[in-house]
Amino acid sequence: MKRWRSFPLQLFILTVLPLSLLLMIIAFGSLGLHQRSMRTMVGERDERATRAAAKSISEQLNQRAVAVRSLALQTPLVASSENALANASFLLPGFEGGVALFDANGDLLVTSKDPQVWQFPAIRQQLMRIKPVTNATSAAYFSPAFTDPMTGEERMFVAIAAPDGLVAAGIFSPANLARKALTDVFGSNDGATAVVVNTDGEIIYQAGLRAEVAGKIRQHPGVAGALGGNSGTTYLTLGGDEYVVAFSPIPPVGWALVVEEPWQDVADPLLRATELAPLVLVPVVLITLFALWFGVRQIVTPLQALEQKATELGWGNFEAIEEPVGGINEIQRLQAELIHMAHKVKLAQQSLRGYLGAVTTGQEEERRRLARDLHDDTLQSLIALNQRIQIAQLTAGKENNAVQLAEMQQMVGQTIADLRRLTRDLRPIYLEDLGLVPALDMLARDTGRNLQIPITFQTTGTEHRLLPIEELALYRMGQEALSNIVRHAHAAHVQLDLHFATDYTTLTIHDDGVGFDVPESPAEMAATGHFGLLGIQERAELIGARITIKSAPQVGTKLIITLPE
């Protein structure tokens, strides 16, 4: 419980930990929302760009369709097909494979390039299927892709038949067309991959497409949707990276345009830099830990040390409070005030000690006088009475008188023994004549014999006499300790140890009784009913001794009295 009441632990659990968790939740929550927003933003951007690229490809296809339509409709208006083709020379850059005119029977009239390309069977068969246009909005015919037999490149042609059966056709490269449109829209983005797929699921153009995807392009996300005429955005996770996949159809020919790129690489660098926001927690946590360390080192630890020294001050150790505990200025001023207060208390105790010394000396003198009077007067009278009773017993003739006299003699003998014990308690003759060791030895023997408790007494060290007031105080403290053990401890055995050292003398009283909870300071002894301990504490202060109490319920008690030389 004391550990849980520790200020650093409470500060960490109630303040530092909740604030750190709150900051982490806010930081990582904001990061998650930010990433989701960037993900959506990149998806919307790519979808718009893909639609724009698909529209650009559609417009270029439509331009080529318009070019051959114009050529087919204007040819009858000029003198010859050669002149018509010469007048449409501005159309030639859009047709890498050339432009050609055919009559209604499918015979080649004129071409801008090698006529062998137009004799290719696949082209001839498709040209024969073209029907004459009926109006200006009739759609042109776009052929499937084929391999140019002359160059080996992938080609396709667009053709249209005039009302009189004249057919105008132009061959172009779909890959070049798609490349130009995608370059205009996406620019140079190394992270993006793009693919144009025709209605048969064949790749017309690809840029940066992964090899494992090229073999199964129909299963790629977005291809099926775009071939079905839909546009939109989807997401694909590969190798720990998430890709945004935007797709859109190319209306004139039903192709599919699919663009794929990792959205993290597309985000604005400034926005991506905000992903490092959780790193702000590192200095925050470090500053918090430093503040906690500073508080513990400069406030809590000095306060704990000051508390311990104040406890020692309560037990009479006035020198302990003067040792600096450090800490902040307020704690140092508090210690200075405690030192000042301790000096006043010490002076007051010295004055009180003189008063108590005088009172104790008076008590001991009164006890000595009373013991002397009892010994010299009352006790001697009782002895004389006892002797006369003995003489009366010898001279008494009747048996009844002899019995009564014997009872009187027994009563007088008991009274004499009680008076002798009382005089020893009031005035320890052994202490005055023989010293502290014999007095404590006799005290242990008498107490153990009278109360039927084994009390062991032993000494260690080099025995020497102390000042009379010191020996008397140690004897009285031992006497009070044994009295407390008899009244409260219910002990089965008691041990008295007197140790003589060069610079101190120690009296230890140890019992195996029921024990008790030791008060935290002498001020609590009276409130908890430990008046015997309070008397021992006062006698110890009178001679400058220090007492140490070690006890707990059901483990016995050890009282150590240390008297410096």
- Going from the C-alpha of 84 to that of each of 65, 66, 103, 367, 417, the distances in angstroms are 17, 15, 14, 153, 160
Query: Residue 108 and residue 81: Cα distance in Å, rounded?
Result: 11
Q: Is the pLDDT of residue 2 over 50?
A: no
Return the axis-axis angle of helices 399-426 and 329-373, rounded to nearest 10°.
150
pLDDT band for 366, please (50, 70, 90 cuts): low
Q: List pLDDT tens digits, range 207-262.
A: 765 655 555 677 788 888 888 889 999 888 877 778 888 999 998 888 999 988 88
Return the axis-axis angle of helices 301-314 and 329-373, rounded to nearest 10°.
10
Q: List pLDDT tens digits, range 330-363.
A: 888 888 888 888 887 777 666 666 656 666 666 7
Q: What percent of the chain has pLDDT over 70?
A: 78
Q: List pLDDT tens digits, range 449-495.
A: 877 888 999 999 999 888 888 888 899 899 889 988 888 888 889 99
Q: List pLDDT tens digits, range 480-538.
A: 899 888 888 888 899 999 999 989 999 999 999 998 888 877 767 766 777 788 888 88
Among the ranges given (139-148, 207-216, 219-228, 437-446), the one the predictor scored with the smallest mean pLDDT: 207-216
- The alpha carbon of residue 229 and the mean position of all alpha carbons in its chain are separated, in whole angstroms, by 55
What's phi and psi for 31, nearest 5 deg?
-65, -40
- The alpha carbon of residue 208 and the mean position of all alpha carbons in its chain are separated, in whole angstroms, by 47
DSSP reduced 3-state for 173: coil
Query: Residue 283 and residue 287: Cα distance in Å, rounded?
Result: 6
User: 349: Cβ–Cβ under 8 A, 6 or more apart, which residues?
Assistant: 316, 541
Q: What is the pTM of this model?
A: 0.48
If one compares 10 and 52, the residue with the highest pLDDT of the two is 52
Q: List pLDDT tens digits, range 105-116.
A: 888 888 888 888
Query: Residue 70 and residue 346: Cα distance in Å, rounded?
Result: 121
What's phi and psi for 239, nearest 5 deg?
60, 35
Query: Residue 549 and residue 525: Cα distance in Å, rounded?
Result: 12
| Cα Rg of the chain (Å, integer) | 58
125-134 average pLDDT score: 76
Work out whether the CA dihedral 117, 122, 127, 130 comes out positive or negative.
Answer: negative
CB 345 within 8 A of CB 317: no
CB 386 within 8 A of CB 393: no
Q: What is the mean pLDDT of the chain?
A: 79
Q: ∠ CA(500), CA(503), CA(508), 5° rounding? A: 40
Q: Is the pLDDT of residue 57 over 70?
A: yes
Q: Is the pLDDT of residue 278 over 50?
A: yes
DSSP H or E run through 235: strand 232-238
Query: Residue 229 and residue 223: Cα distance in Å, rounded?
Result: 10
DSSP reduced 3-state for 170: strand
Identify the pLDDT of residue 1: 45
Q: SS3 letters for 497-533?
A: EEEECCCEEEEEEEECCCCCCCCCCHHHCCCCCCHHH
What's phi and psi for 228, nearest 5 deg?
-85, 0
DSSP reduced 3-state for 505: strand
Query: Residue 520 and residue 313: Cα distance in Å, rounded?
Result: 12
Q: What percent of the chain has pLDDT over 90?
A: 12
147 bridge partner residues: 154
- Going from the C-alpha of 174 to that of each of 144, 181, 259, 475, 537, the distances in angstroms are 10, 11, 17, 119, 109
Query: Residue 237 and residue 243: Cα distance in Å, rounded?
Result: 6
Among the ranges given (4-13, 77-86, 129-138, 204-213), the one the predictor scored with the smallest mean pLDDT: 4-13
Tokens of 477: 């403290």
Residue with tokens 């079905």: 228
Please tell me the total number of residues recorded for the chain in this structure: 565
User: 27: Cβ–Cβ under 8 A, 6 or more apart, which residues?
Assistant: 277, 278, 280, 281
